Amino acid sequence: MRRIVVRAGNPLQGEVAVSGAKNSVLKCMAATLLAPGRHVITNVAAIDDVTVMGDVLSAMGVGVDRSGLAAESTLVIDVPEVCTPEAPYELAEKIRASIVVLGPLLARFGYAKVPLPGGDDFGSRPIDMHIKGFEALGATVNIRHGDLEARADRLVGGRIALDYPSVGATENLLMASVLAKGTTVIDNVAREPEIGDLIDLLTAMGAQIAGKDTSTLTIEGVDTLHPTEHAVIPDRIEAATYAVAVGLAEGDVTIKGARLEHMDMLAEKLAEMGVHISAVDNGVWVTSEGRPRSADVSTLPYPGIATDYKPFLLTLLTVSDGVAIVTENVYGANRYAYVAELSRMGADIRTEGHHAVVRGVPRLSGAPIKAHDIRAGAALVLAGLAADGTTLVGDAHHVERGYADLVASLKSLGADVEWEEPAGDGR
C-alpha cells in the first residue's frame, strides 16, 4: 500500500491551483442521466471518486469518455435513450454519493434500483429524507435485498419540507422534481455552493428552478431536458486544505481558482487563529506567521463551517496556543477516527460525544499513522508539516479519492512530502 512521507520544513511559498469540486462533479455526472445526448463537463478533478461514478454510469449503459480528464479536466458523457436504471452494489458501495442517481433515474425512467448506503468510518448515514421526498412526489419506495427500489409512472410535483438541510436529499429531490408534472416546493434545503452549481447545470439543461442560494426551491417540472456544457465550481474543501497547510507550516501562498465567497466563515475562523485569507485575481492569498492561536469551532450546514473542514481545523488546533472546543453538529458522535492518529503524534485531544477539547502543544512528533477517509487523511498529511521527525501516512489511497495529487501540490509550495511504496503492510 502506498504511503505519504512528510517532514516539516521551510514556510510554504508560491502558487497552487484547486481542481473542480468533488462534491459537485459527482452530482453533475448523475444529472446527465436526465437528458439523452452528449454532455460535456469541464473543470473535472482527476480523482478516484470521479472514476467510480463514471463506472456507475457505464454500468447503466452510459458512454463515459475520460480521455480528456488528465490533460484538459474534461469529461464527455453520452447518455442513450434507454439505460439500465440500476446501480451495481460493487460500485455503489465504494462511493456513498452514488445514491443521487436515484432521483434522475426515477424521473426519467419511472424506475430506479440503487443499493442502500452501508456504514463507513463515520457510522451509518440514513436516507429517510430522500425516501420521504420521493414518496411526496408520488413514488412508491421499497427496500428489498439491500436495494432501494423506487417506482412512479410519472412523478407529480408536491410540497416537501426537509427535517434537516441535507445536501444529498436536496440534490436527489431536486433532480427528481425537474421532470415531475407540475410544481414542486422544497423547504429547508441545503444551500452549499455545490447545490448552486447543480442548479446552474440543471437550468442550463432547460430546468425551471427558482430560489437558488435560499432555503426554499420552487421547481416547475418540464417534459424534457437537453444536454449542455458545464464547468464545475472550484473545490472549497481542497482550498481549505492548502490554507490550513499555510497555518501549520507558515508562509504565503496563492490558491488559484479558490473563491473567497464560498469560504467566508472559514476565512473568519482562520483569521481568529492568525491565518489570513484575502481575495486576489482568480483566487485567494493566504499568509501566516508564528504559532496559530486557538479558537472554538462548531460545524454547521452552509454557510456555517463545513464538517469537511473540521479535520483540518482540528489539526491546526493541535499546535495552536491555547485550548479550544470543537463541536460536531452535522454528523453523529463517532466522526473522530483520525483523533487517535493525531494523538499518536503527541496531540492533546479529548473527545466526549459531539465535542473535542484540544489543548495546543508547541510541536507534534512524527509517527506512522493511518488515513481513514479523504479529508481526515489529508489532515494527517498536514499534521506532518508541524511535526518533528518523519510522519508516515499509511492507507493513503483514501486521499486519492478526493485529491488529484495532494503530494505534488504541497511539494510545489516547497513542502517536504513524498509518495513511498513500502515493502511491508503500509504501517
Active site residues: 120
Applying CB under 6 A, among 25, 127, 219, 297 the residue interacting with ligand UD1 is: 127
Contact between 168 and ligand UD1 per CB under 6 A: yes
172, three cell numbers: 436527489
Nearer to ligand UD1, 319 or 330 (CB): 330
- 160-168, 196-204, 239-247, 288-296 -> range binding ligand UD1 (CB under 6 A): 160-168
Cell match 484538459: residue? 72
Cell match 455526472: residue? 29
Main-chain phi, psi angles of 89, to 5 degrees: -55, -45
The burial of 409, by beta-carbon neighbours within 10 Å (0-12 exposed, 13-18 middle, 19 or more buried), is given as buried
Give how far Cα 81 sits from Cα of 26, 37, 105, 113, 374, Å.
21, 8, 12, 18, 35
- 147-155, 162-170, 315-323, 348-356 -> range binding ligand UD1 (CB under 6 A): 162-170
Contact between 89 and ligand UD1 per CB under 6 A: no
**CA–CA separation, 102 vs 88, rounded Å?**
12
**Shortest approach of ligand UD1 to residue 300 CB, angstroms?**
9
Contact between 238 and ligand UD1 per CB under 6 A: no
**CA–CA separation, 227 vs 201, rounded Å?**
10
**Shortest approach of ligand UD1 to residue 420 CB, angstroms?**
28
Q: Read off the amino acid at residue 8.
A: A
Contact between 331 and ligand UD1 per CB under 6 A: yes
Contact between 128 and ligand UD1 per CB under 6 A: yes
Contact between 297 and ligand UD1 per CB under 6 A: no
Contact between 160 and ligand UD1 per CB under 6 A: no
**CA–CA separation, 406 vs 427, rounded Å?**
20
Applying CB under 6 A, among 72, 120, 164, 350 the residue interacting with ligand UD1 is: 164
- Residue 408: closest CA among 55, 70, 69, 66: 70
Applying CB under 6 A, among 39, 108, 113, 130 the residue interacting with ligand UD1 is: 130
Contact between 26 and ligand UD1 per CB under 6 A: yes
Contact between 166 and ligand UD1 per CB under 6 A: yes
Are residues 73 and 20 in contact, defined by beta-carbon separation less than 8 angstroms?
A: yes
Nearer to ligand UD1, 168 or 283 (CB): 168
- 119-127, 139-147, 251-259, 290-298 -> range binding ligand UD1 (CB under 6 A): 119-127
Applying CB under 6 A, among 287, 307, 334, 343 the residue interacting with ligand UD1 is: 307
105, three cell numbers: 433515474
189, three cell numbers: 434545503
Give how far Cα 231 sits from Cα of 34, 204, 207, 279, 424, Å.
18, 11, 17, 21, 42
Give how far the C-alpha of residue 205 lies from the chain's centroid of Cα atoms, to the nearest Å: 23
- 32-40, 66-74, 125-133, 134-142 -> range binding ligand UD1 (CB under 6 A): 125-133
Give how far the C-alpha of residue 390 lies from the chain's centroid of Cα atoms, to the nearest Å: 29
Contact set with ligand UD1 (CB under 6 A):
23, 26, 97, 125-130, 164, 166-169, 190, 306-308, 330-331
